[in-house]
Amino acid sequence: MHVARRRWLARGIAIVIACVVVRIGMPWWCGHEAHAWLADDADRQRGLADELVAFERADGPAASNGGDRFAGEWALVTHQMIALGLAQLCLAHPAWAHELAPVVTEAAAKSFRSDMRDFGTRAWHGEDGMASLDGDHGHAYLAYPALALGMARLVDPAFPASLAAQHDALVAAFERRLLASPTGLIETYPGEAYPTDVAAVAAAIAIHGRVTHTSHDAVLRQWAARVRTVQIDRASGLVIQRMDAATGAPHDAPRASGTGLAAYFAGFADRALARELAAAVVRQVSTRFGFGAVREYADGFAGHGDVDSGPVILGVSVSATGFALASARLANDEDAFTALYRTVDLFGLPAGDDFAIGGPIGNALLLALLTSGPEVAP
Amino acid sequence: VIWREIKPFLGVAIVVVVYAIVRVIYVAIADGQGIVTPGGHVDPTLVVLAISTLVLRFIVLVVVPLVVVYRIVMRVSRRWTE
Protein backbone atom coordinates (compact mmCIF):
# COMPACT_ATOMS: atom_id res chain seq x y z
CA MET A 1 0.00 0.00 0.00
CA HIS A 2 1.24 3.49 -0.82
CA VAL A 3 2.79 5.30 2.18
CA ALA A 4 0.48 8.31 1.85
CA ARG A 5 -2.54 6.03 1.79
CA ARG A 6 -1.25 4.17 4.86
CA ARG A 7 -0.90 7.48 6.69
CA TRP A 8 -4.51 8.45 5.93
CA LEU A 9 -5.65 5.02 7.04
CA ALA A 10 -3.66 5.35 10.27
CA ARG A 11 -5.16 8.79 10.88
CA GLY A 12 -8.66 7.41 10.39
CA ILE A 13 -8.01 4.52 12.75
CA ALA A 14 -6.48 6.91 15.32
CA ILE A 15 -9.53 9.19 15.20
CA VAL A 16 -11.92 6.26 15.60
CA ILE A 17 -9.95 4.82 18.55
CA ALA A 18 -9.70 8.28 20.18
CA CYS A 19 -13.46 8.81 19.83
CA VAL A 20 -14.20 5.37 21.27
CA VAL A 21 -11.87 6.01 24.22
CA VAL A 22 -13.54 9.36 24.97
CA ARG A 23 -17.04 7.92 24.51
CA ILE A 24 -16.29 5.19 27.05
CA GLY A 25 -13.84 7.04 29.27
CA MET A 26 -15.69 10.29 29.92
CA PRO A 27 -18.96 8.71 31.13
CA TRP A 28 -16.93 6.24 33.20
CA TRP A 29 -14.92 9.02 34.82
CA CYS A 30 -17.99 11.10 35.66
CA GLY A 31 -20.06 8.14 36.78
CA HIS A 32 -17.55 5.98 38.59
CA GLU A 33 -19.00 6.91 42.00
CA ALA A 34 -22.62 6.42 40.97
CA HIS A 35 -22.70 2.76 41.94
CA ALA A 36 -21.28 3.55 45.37
CA TRP A 37 -24.04 6.13 45.97
CA LEU A 38 -26.68 3.73 44.71
CA ALA A 39 -25.31 1.01 46.99
CA ASP A 40 -25.48 3.41 49.98
CA ASP A 41 -21.70 3.45 50.43
CA ALA A 42 -21.19 4.67 54.00
CA ASP A 43 -17.94 6.54 53.26
CA ARG A 44 -19.49 8.61 50.46
CA GLN A 45 -22.56 9.39 52.55
CA ARG A 46 -20.56 10.32 55.62
CA GLY A 47 -18.18 12.52 53.64
CA LEU A 48 -20.95 14.71 52.22
CA ALA A 49 -22.80 14.65 55.55
CA ASP A 50 -19.73 15.89 57.42
CA GLU A 51 -19.38 18.81 55.00
CA LEU A 52 -22.97 19.85 55.71
CA VAL A 53 -22.61 19.32 59.45
CA ALA A 54 -19.64 21.70 59.32
CA PHE A 55 -21.72 24.19 57.36
CA GLU A 56 -24.59 23.96 59.83
CA ARG A 57 -22.24 24.43 62.79
CA ALA A 58 -20.60 27.47 61.16
CA ASP A 59 -23.97 29.00 60.32
CA GLY A 60 -24.72 30.21 63.84
CA PRO A 61 -27.63 32.34 65.01
CA ALA A 62 -25.70 35.58 64.50
CA ALA A 63 -25.11 34.81 60.84
CA SER A 64 -28.76 34.10 60.20
CA ASN A 65 -30.06 37.28 61.84
CA GLY A 66 -28.28 39.45 59.29
CA GLY A 67 -30.91 38.58 56.76
CA ASP A 68 -28.80 38.92 53.65
CA ARG A 69 -26.75 35.75 53.80
CA PHE A 70 -29.73 33.57 53.38
CA ALA A 71 -33.02 34.61 51.98
CA GLY A 72 -36.52 33.18 51.92
CA GLU A 73 -37.03 29.85 50.29
CA TRP A 74 -33.34 29.15 49.73
CA ALA A 75 -32.47 29.30 53.40
CA LEU A 76 -35.52 27.34 54.39
CA VAL A 77 -34.89 24.60 51.83
CA THR A 78 -31.17 24.44 52.63
CA HIS A 79 -31.73 23.80 56.34
CA GLN A 80 -34.69 21.54 55.65
CA MET A 81 -32.75 19.37 53.22
CA ILE A 82 -29.77 19.16 55.57
CA ALA A 83 -32.16 17.97 58.28
CA LEU A 84 -33.81 15.43 55.97
CA GLY A 85 -30.53 14.11 54.56
CA LEU A 86 -28.91 13.71 57.95
CA ALA A 87 -32.08 12.15 59.41
CA GLN A 88 -32.14 9.63 56.56
CA LEU A 89 -28.56 8.72 57.46
CA CYS A 90 -29.57 8.31 61.11
CA LEU A 91 -32.24 5.84 59.99
CA ALA A 92 -29.85 4.02 57.65
CA HIS A 93 -26.94 3.98 60.12
CA PRO A 94 -28.33 4.02 63.68
CA ALA A 95 -24.77 4.13 65.07
CA TRP A 96 -24.39 7.63 63.60
CA ALA A 97 -27.54 8.96 65.26
CA HIS A 98 -25.97 10.12 68.54
CA GLU A 99 -23.67 12.38 66.51
CA LEU A 100 -25.98 13.51 63.69
CA ALA A 101 -29.37 13.72 65.41
CA PRO A 102 -28.57 16.94 67.33
CA VAL A 103 -27.56 18.55 64.04
CA VAL A 104 -30.83 17.36 62.48
CA THR A 105 -32.71 19.14 65.24
CA GLU A 106 -30.53 22.24 64.88
CA ALA A 107 -31.13 22.43 61.11
CA ALA A 108 -34.84 21.71 61.45
CA ALA A 109 -35.23 24.37 64.16
CA LYS A 110 -33.48 26.90 61.92
CA SER A 111 -35.82 26.13 59.05
CA PHE A 112 -38.72 26.80 61.43
CA ARG A 113 -37.52 30.20 62.67
CA SER A 114 -39.90 33.10 62.02
CA ASP A 115 -37.37 34.99 59.87
CA MET A 116 -37.16 31.97 57.57
CA ARG A 117 -40.85 32.31 56.75
CA ASP A 118 -40.84 36.08 56.28
CA PHE A 119 -41.32 35.58 52.56
CA GLY A 120 -44.54 33.67 53.23
CA THR A 121 -45.79 36.19 55.76
CA ARG A 122 -45.24 38.97 53.22
CA ALA A 123 -47.04 37.00 50.51
CA TRP A 124 -50.03 36.61 52.86
CA HIS A 125 -50.07 40.39 53.45
CA GLY A 126 -48.56 40.20 56.92
CA GLU A 127 -50.36 37.08 58.15
CA ASP A 128 -47.87 34.81 59.94
CA GLY A 129 -48.66 31.17 59.23
CA MET A 130 -47.89 30.12 62.80
CA ALA A 131 -50.07 32.87 64.27
CA SER A 132 -53.06 31.86 62.16
CA LEU A 133 -53.26 28.11 62.60
CA ASP A 134 -57.01 28.33 63.22
CA GLY A 135 -57.51 30.01 59.85
CA ASP A 136 -58.20 28.47 56.48
CA HIS A 137 -55.28 29.94 54.55
CA GLY A 138 -53.00 27.13 53.45
CA HIS A 139 -49.48 28.46 54.17
CA ALA A 140 -48.26 25.21 52.61
CA TYR A 141 -44.64 26.44 52.51
CA LEU A 142 -44.60 25.70 56.26
CA ALA A 143 -44.71 22.02 55.36
CA TYR A 144 -40.99 22.18 54.58
CA PRO A 145 -39.92 23.00 58.15
CA ALA A 146 -42.76 20.82 59.48
CA LEU A 147 -41.32 17.80 57.66
CA ALA A 148 -37.82 18.61 58.90
CA LEU A 149 -39.10 18.91 62.48
CA GLY A 150 -40.91 15.60 62.12
CA MET A 151 -37.76 13.82 60.98
CA ALA A 152 -35.82 15.44 63.81
CA ARG A 153 -38.39 14.18 66.31
CA LEU A 154 -38.09 10.74 64.73
CA VAL A 155 -34.32 10.45 65.22
CA ASP A 156 -33.52 12.76 68.15
CA PRO A 157 -34.67 11.59 71.62
CA ALA A 158 -33.66 15.03 72.99
CA PHE A 159 -35.97 16.95 70.65
CA PRO A 160 -37.26 20.03 72.58
CA ALA A 161 -40.80 19.69 73.92
CA SER A 162 -41.69 23.31 73.11
CA LEU A 163 -40.89 22.77 69.43
CA ALA A 164 -42.80 19.49 69.49
CA ALA A 165 -45.91 21.32 70.72
CA GLN A 166 -45.69 23.86 67.88
CA HIS A 167 -45.11 21.01 65.43
CA ASP A 168 -48.21 19.19 66.70
CA ALA A 169 -50.31 22.34 66.26
CA LEU A 170 -49.01 23.00 62.74
CA VAL A 171 -49.63 19.42 61.59
CA ALA A 172 -53.14 19.51 63.08
CA ALA A 173 -53.87 22.68 61.07
CA PHE A 174 -52.53 21.07 57.89
CA GLU A 175 -54.63 17.96 58.47
CA ARG A 176 -57.81 20.00 58.98
CA ARG A 177 -57.18 22.15 55.88
CA LEU A 178 -56.31 19.19 53.67
CA LEU A 179 -59.37 17.21 54.77
CA ALA A 180 -61.55 20.20 53.89
CA SER A 181 -60.07 20.56 50.39
CA PRO A 182 -62.06 19.03 47.52
CA THR A 183 -58.98 19.11 45.27
CA GLY A 184 -56.42 17.74 47.71
CA LEU A 185 -54.68 21.10 47.44
CA ILE A 186 -54.08 23.88 49.92
CA GLU A 187 -52.62 27.23 49.04
CA THR A 188 -48.96 28.10 49.41
CA TYR A 189 -49.59 31.77 48.60
CA PRO A 190 -52.91 33.56 47.98
CA GLY A 191 -54.48 32.04 44.88
CA GLU A 192 -51.54 29.70 44.27
CA ALA A 193 -51.35 26.03 45.13
CA TYR A 194 -48.44 23.79 44.27
CA PRO A 195 -48.94 20.01 44.30
CA THR A 196 -45.28 19.68 45.27
CA ASP A 197 -45.78 21.77 48.40
CA VAL A 198 -48.90 19.79 49.24
CA ALA A 199 -46.89 16.58 48.86
CA ALA A 200 -44.58 18.08 51.49
CA VAL A 201 -47.68 18.71 53.64
CA ALA A 202 -48.66 15.05 53.30
CA ALA A 203 -45.10 13.99 54.10
CA ALA A 204 -45.11 16.15 57.23
CA ILE A 205 -48.43 14.67 58.35
CA ALA A 206 -47.20 11.11 57.69
CA ILE A 207 -43.96 11.56 59.62
CA HIS A 208 -45.89 13.17 62.48
CA GLY A 209 -48.00 10.00 62.58
CA ARG A 210 -44.87 7.84 62.80
CA VAL A 211 -43.45 9.99 65.60
CA THR A 212 -46.58 10.30 67.73
CA HIS A 213 -48.12 6.93 66.82
CA THR A 214 -51.34 8.66 65.82
CA SER A 215 -53.23 7.65 62.71
CA HIS A 216 -53.46 10.16 59.86
CA ASP A 217 -54.56 7.47 57.41
CA ALA A 218 -57.83 9.14 56.40
CA VAL A 219 -56.26 12.42 55.29
CA LEU A 220 -53.35 10.67 53.58
CA ARG A 221 -55.66 8.33 51.68
CA GLN A 222 -57.81 11.27 50.58
CA TRP A 223 -54.74 13.26 49.51
CA ALA A 224 -53.32 10.36 47.47
CA ALA A 225 -56.67 9.85 45.74
CA ARG A 226 -56.92 13.56 44.85
CA VAL A 227 -53.37 13.60 43.52
CA ARG A 228 -54.29 10.80 41.13
CA THR A 229 -57.63 12.28 40.04
CA VAL A 230 -56.94 16.04 40.09
CA GLN A 231 -53.25 16.86 40.12
CA ILE A 232 -51.65 14.40 37.70
CA ASP A 233 -51.64 14.97 33.94
CA ARG A 234 -52.95 11.66 32.61
CA ALA A 235 -50.85 11.67 29.43
CA SER A 236 -47.45 12.24 31.02
CA GLY A 237 -48.00 11.14 34.61
CA LEU A 238 -46.40 14.41 35.76
CA VAL A 239 -48.10 16.66 38.29
CA ILE A 240 -49.22 20.09 37.18
CA GLN A 241 -46.78 22.61 38.60
CA ARG A 242 -49.28 25.22 39.86
CA MET A 243 -53.04 25.00 40.29
CA ASP A 244 -56.10 26.69 41.73
CA ALA A 245 -56.64 25.19 45.17
CA ALA A 246 -60.42 25.60 45.10
CA THR A 247 -61.23 24.40 41.58
CA GLY A 248 -58.15 22.39 40.63
CA ALA A 249 -57.80 24.44 37.45
CA PRO A 250 -54.23 24.28 36.08
CA HIS A 251 -52.23 27.50 36.23
CA ASP A 252 -49.14 25.93 34.68
CA ALA A 253 -48.02 22.88 32.72
CA PRO A 254 -47.22 19.35 33.89
CA ARG A 255 -43.54 19.66 34.76
CA ALA A 256 -40.75 17.38 35.87
CA SER A 257 -39.12 19.63 38.49
CA GLY A 258 -42.29 19.76 40.57
CA THR A 259 -42.99 16.08 40.01
CA GLY A 260 -39.45 15.03 40.96
CA LEU A 261 -39.61 16.80 44.30
CA ALA A 262 -43.22 15.69 44.81
CA ALA A 263 -42.15 12.06 44.25
CA TYR A 264 -39.48 12.42 46.93
CA PHE A 265 -41.96 13.96 49.40
CA ALA A 266 -44.70 11.49 48.50
CA GLY A 267 -42.33 8.70 49.50
CA PHE A 268 -42.68 9.72 53.16
CA ALA A 269 -46.44 9.27 52.95
CA ASP A 270 -47.40 6.79 50.24
CA ARG A 271 -44.91 4.43 48.64
CA ALA A 272 -47.19 3.40 45.75
CA LEU A 273 -47.97 6.98 44.73
CA ALA A 274 -44.32 7.92 45.05
CA ARG A 275 -43.39 5.11 42.69
CA GLU A 276 -45.96 6.28 40.15
CA LEU A 277 -44.59 9.82 40.23
CA ALA A 278 -41.00 8.60 40.13
CA ALA A 279 -41.74 6.45 37.10
CA ALA A 280 -43.15 9.50 35.30
CA VAL A 281 -40.01 11.49 36.10
CA VAL A 282 -37.74 8.70 34.91
CA ARG A 283 -39.69 8.63 31.63
CA GLN A 284 -38.61 12.26 31.16
CA VAL A 285 -34.93 11.31 31.35
CA SER A 286 -33.14 11.90 28.09
CA THR A 287 -29.71 10.31 27.67
CA ARG A 288 -26.97 11.47 25.29
CA PHE A 289 -23.49 9.92 25.23
CA GLY A 290 -24.19 8.27 28.57
CA PHE A 291 -25.19 11.53 30.31
CA GLY A 292 -28.78 11.87 31.51
CA ALA A 293 -30.92 14.96 31.92
CA VAL A 294 -34.61 15.51 32.55
CA ARG A 295 -36.93 17.26 30.12
CA GLU A 296 -38.83 19.82 32.18
CA TYR A 297 -42.09 19.99 30.26
CA ALA A 298 -44.37 17.13 29.32
CA ASP A 299 -44.79 16.44 25.59
CA GLY A 300 -47.00 19.08 24.03
CA PHE A 301 -46.01 21.76 26.53
CA ALA A 302 -43.21 24.31 26.46
CA GLY A 303 -41.97 27.12 28.63
CA HIS A 304 -39.09 28.79 30.36
CA GLY A 305 -37.22 28.06 33.55
CA ASP A 306 -38.11 29.58 36.90
CA VAL A 307 -37.13 29.37 40.55
CA ASP A 308 -38.49 25.82 40.74
CA SER A 309 -36.85 24.34 37.66
CA GLY A 310 -33.68 26.42 37.56
CA PRO A 311 -32.44 27.24 34.08
CA VAL A 312 -34.16 25.24 31.32
CA ILE A 313 -31.58 24.70 28.58
CA LEU A 314 -32.62 22.90 25.40
CA GLY A 315 -35.74 21.79 27.24
CA VAL A 316 -33.75 20.25 30.08
CA SER A 317 -34.14 21.38 33.70
CA VAL A 318 -31.23 21.64 36.10
CA SER A 319 -33.39 21.10 39.20
CA ALA A 320 -35.42 18.26 37.72
CA THR A 321 -32.21 16.46 36.76
CA GLY A 322 -31.10 16.59 40.40
CA PHE A 323 -34.50 15.66 41.83
CA ALA A 324 -34.67 12.70 39.44
CA LEU A 325 -31.77 11.06 41.30
CA ALA A 326 -34.22 10.21 44.09
CA SER A 327 -36.83 9.10 41.55
CA ALA A 328 -34.33 6.76 39.89
CA ARG A 329 -33.42 5.32 43.30
CA LEU A 330 -37.08 4.79 44.12
CA ALA A 331 -37.70 3.20 40.74
CA ASN A 332 -34.61 0.98 41.16
CA ASP A 333 -33.47 2.20 37.75
CA GLU A 334 -29.68 1.91 37.93
CA ASP A 335 -29.14 3.00 34.31
CA ALA A 336 -31.13 6.21 34.78
CA PHE A 337 -29.46 6.91 38.12
CA THR A 338 -25.98 6.43 36.67
CA ALA A 339 -26.72 8.61 33.63
CA LEU A 340 -28.12 11.37 35.85
CA TYR A 341 -25.25 11.12 38.31
CA ARG A 342 -22.73 11.54 35.48
CA THR A 343 -24.36 14.85 34.57
CA VAL A 344 -24.41 15.98 38.20
CA ASP A 345 -20.74 15.05 38.50
CA LEU A 346 -19.77 16.80 35.26
CA PHE A 347 -21.44 20.11 36.09
CA GLY A 348 -21.45 19.89 39.89
CA LEU A 349 -17.64 19.83 40.04
CA PRO A 350 -16.84 17.35 42.81
CA ALA A 351 -14.34 18.84 45.25
CA GLY A 352 -13.38 16.42 47.98
CA ASP A 353 -16.56 15.18 49.61
CA ASP A 354 -18.97 17.77 48.22
CA PHE A 355 -19.79 19.60 44.99
CA ALA A 356 -18.35 23.04 44.35
CA ILE A 357 -20.85 24.61 41.96
CA GLY A 358 -24.16 24.38 43.83
CA GLY A 359 -23.08 25.71 47.21
CA PRO A 360 -24.88 24.78 50.43
CA ILE A 361 -28.33 24.42 48.86
CA GLY A 362 -26.98 22.19 46.08
CA ASN A 363 -25.08 19.98 48.51
CA ALA A 364 -28.02 19.84 50.92
CA LEU A 365 -30.36 18.75 48.13
CA LEU A 366 -27.87 16.18 46.87
CA LEU A 367 -27.42 14.70 50.34
CA ALA A 368 -31.18 14.26 50.75
CA LEU A 369 -31.70 12.93 47.22
CA LEU A 370 -28.63 10.67 47.05
CA THR A 371 -29.45 9.06 50.40
CA SER A 372 -33.21 8.82 49.97
CA GLY A 373 -34.82 5.50 50.79
CA PRO A 374 -34.86 4.98 54.57
CA GLU A 375 -37.60 7.59 54.93
CA VAL A 376 -39.98 5.92 52.47
CA ALA A 377 -43.27 4.78 53.96
CA PRO A 378 -43.59 1.02 54.46
CA VAL B 1 14.98 11.39 22.13
CA ILE B 2 12.86 11.73 25.27
CA TRP B 3 12.10 15.38 24.48
CA ARG B 4 11.04 14.44 20.95
CA GLU B 5 8.60 11.87 22.34
CA ILE B 6 7.23 14.18 25.02
CA LYS B 7 6.92 17.32 22.90
CA PRO B 8 3.60 16.40 21.17
CA PHE B 9 1.98 16.06 24.59
CA LEU B 10 3.29 19.27 26.07
CA GLY B 11 0.30 21.35 24.95
CA VAL B 12 -2.26 19.03 26.51
CA ALA B 13 -0.18 18.79 29.69
CA ILE B 14 -0.25 22.58 29.98
CA VAL B 15 -4.05 22.56 29.56
CA VAL B 16 -4.37 20.00 32.36
CA VAL B 17 -2.12 22.04 34.65
CA VAL B 18 -4.05 25.25 33.90
CA TYR B 19 -7.31 23.41 34.66
CA ALA B 20 -5.95 22.18 37.97
CA ILE B 21 -4.82 25.67 38.95
CA VAL B 22 -8.10 27.37 37.93
CA ARG B 23 -10.10 24.67 39.73
CA VAL B 24 -8.11 25.05 42.93
CA ILE B 25 -8.55 28.83 42.79
CA TYR B 26 -12.30 28.53 42.19
CA VAL B 27 -12.81 26.06 45.02
CA ALA B 28 -10.76 28.25 47.37
CA ILE B 29 -12.59 31.47 46.46
CA ALA B 30 -16.05 29.87 46.39
CA ASP B 31 -15.38 28.52 49.90
CA GLY B 32 -18.34 26.16 49.75
CA GLN B 33 -20.80 28.90 48.76
CA GLY B 34 -21.35 28.01 45.09
CA ILE B 35 -21.86 30.57 42.35
CA VAL B 36 -25.28 31.99 43.23
CA THR B 37 -26.25 33.38 46.60
CA PRO B 38 -29.70 32.77 48.11
CA GLY B 39 -30.65 36.37 47.49
CA GLY B 40 -30.00 35.90 43.78
CA HIS B 41 -26.86 38.05 43.84
CA VAL B 42 -24.11 36.84 41.59
CA ASP B 43 -20.43 37.45 42.22
CA PRO B 44 -19.08 38.15 38.70
CA THR B 45 -15.56 36.99 39.57
CA LEU B 46 -16.86 33.71 40.90
CA VAL B 47 -19.09 33.17 37.88
CA VAL B 48 -16.21 33.78 35.47
CA LEU B 49 -14.04 31.38 37.45
CA ALA B 50 -16.81 28.77 37.59
CA ILE B 51 -17.46 28.98 33.86
CA SER B 52 -13.72 28.84 33.12
CA THR B 53 -13.39 25.80 35.37
CA LEU B 54 -16.30 24.01 33.70
CA VAL B 55 -15.05 24.83 30.18
CA LEU B 56 -11.56 23.62 31.07
CA ARG B 57 -13.06 20.53 32.72
CA PHE B 58 -14.90 19.75 29.49
CA ILE B 59 -11.70 20.26 27.48
CA VAL B 60 -9.71 18.05 29.85
CA LEU B 61 -12.32 15.29 29.74
CA VAL B 62 -12.96 15.39 25.98
CA VAL B 63 -10.30 17.17 23.96
CA VAL B 64 -7.23 16.11 25.95
CA PRO B 65 -7.93 12.35 25.76
CA LEU B 66 -8.85 12.71 22.07
CA VAL B 67 -5.52 14.36 21.30
CA VAL B 68 -3.48 12.03 23.51
CA VAL B 69 -5.01 8.84 22.16
CA TYR B 70 -4.76 10.10 18.56
CA ARG B 71 -1.08 10.92 18.97
CA ILE B 72 -0.29 7.65 20.73
CA VAL B 73 -1.95 5.65 17.96
CA MET B 74 -0.12 7.65 15.31
CA ARG B 75 3.13 7.13 17.21
CA VAL B 76 2.57 3.37 17.41
CA SER B 77 1.73 3.19 13.70
CA ARG B 78 4.75 5.23 12.67
CA ARG B 79 6.81 2.18 11.66
CA TRP B 80 3.98 1.00 9.41
CA THR B 81 3.39 4.38 7.77
CA GLU B 82 7.03 5.33 7.11
pLDDT at A206 over 70: yes
Q: Is B57 within 8 Å of A349 (Cβ atoms)? A: yes
B38/A10 CB distance under 8 A: no
Which ranges of chain A would DSSP assign to H, the alpha helix? 3-31, 34-38, 42-58, 61-65, 72-92, 97-111, 118-123, 143-155, 161-180, 195-212, 217-226, 256-269, 271-283, 318-330, 334-348, 359-370
The angle that helices A72-92 and A359-370 make with each other, rounded to 10 degrees, is: 30
Residue range B48-63: mean pLDDT, rounded: 95
Confidence of residue B67 (pLDDT cuts 50, 70, 90): very high
Residue range A174-190: mean pLDDT, rounded: 96
User: Shortest Cα distance from A243 to chain B (angstroms)?
Assistant: 26
Q: Is A257 within 8 Å of A323 (Cβ atoms)? A: yes
Specify the pLDDT at position A111.
93
Percent of chain A with pLDDT over 70: 96
- To test the contact with chain B by mutation, choose from A2, A5, A6, A21 the residue with the greatest count of B C-beta atoms within 10 A, namely A21
Q: By the CB < 8 Å criterion, does B81 face chain A?
A: yes
Task: Note the pLDDT tens digit of each residue in A25-40.
Answer: 999 999 999 999 999 9
Residue range A151-170: mean pLDDT, rounded: 97
Q: Phi and psi at residue A306, in whole multiples of 5°?
A: -150, -165
A10/B32 CB distance under 8 A: no
Residues contacting A115, CB < 8 A, separation 6+: A64, A65, A67
Nearest to A145 by CA among A130, A161, A162, A126: A130
Residue A230 one-letter amino acid: V
| Top-confidence residue, A68 or B25 | B25
Among chain A residues, CA nearest to B53: A349
Buried b / exposed e over B7-32, threshold 16 CB at 10 Å, is: eebeebeebbeebeebbeebbeebeb
Nearest to A285 by CA among A242, A250, A238: A238
Confidence of residue A69 (pLDDT cuts 50, 70, 90): very low
User: Model's pTM, two decimal places?
Assistant: 0.92
Backbone dihedral region of A67: left (phi > 0), alpha (psi from -120 to 50 degrees) or beta?
left
**CA–CA gap between residue A127 and residue A329 (Å, rounded):** 39
B38/A6 CB distance under 8 A: no
Among chain A residues, CA nearest to B58: A346
Task: Note the pLDDT tens digit of each residue in A101-158.
Answer: 999 999 999 999 988 888 889 999 999 999 999 999 999 999 999 999 999 999 999 9
Burial class (CB in 10 A: 0-12, 13-18, 19+), A65: exposed
Specify the pLDDT at position A309.
83
The total of other beta-carbon atoms located within 10 Å of residue B65's CB is: 18
Task: Note the pLDDT tens digit of each residue in A249-304.
Answer: 999 999 999 999 999 999 999 999 999 999 999 999 999 999 999 999 999 999 88
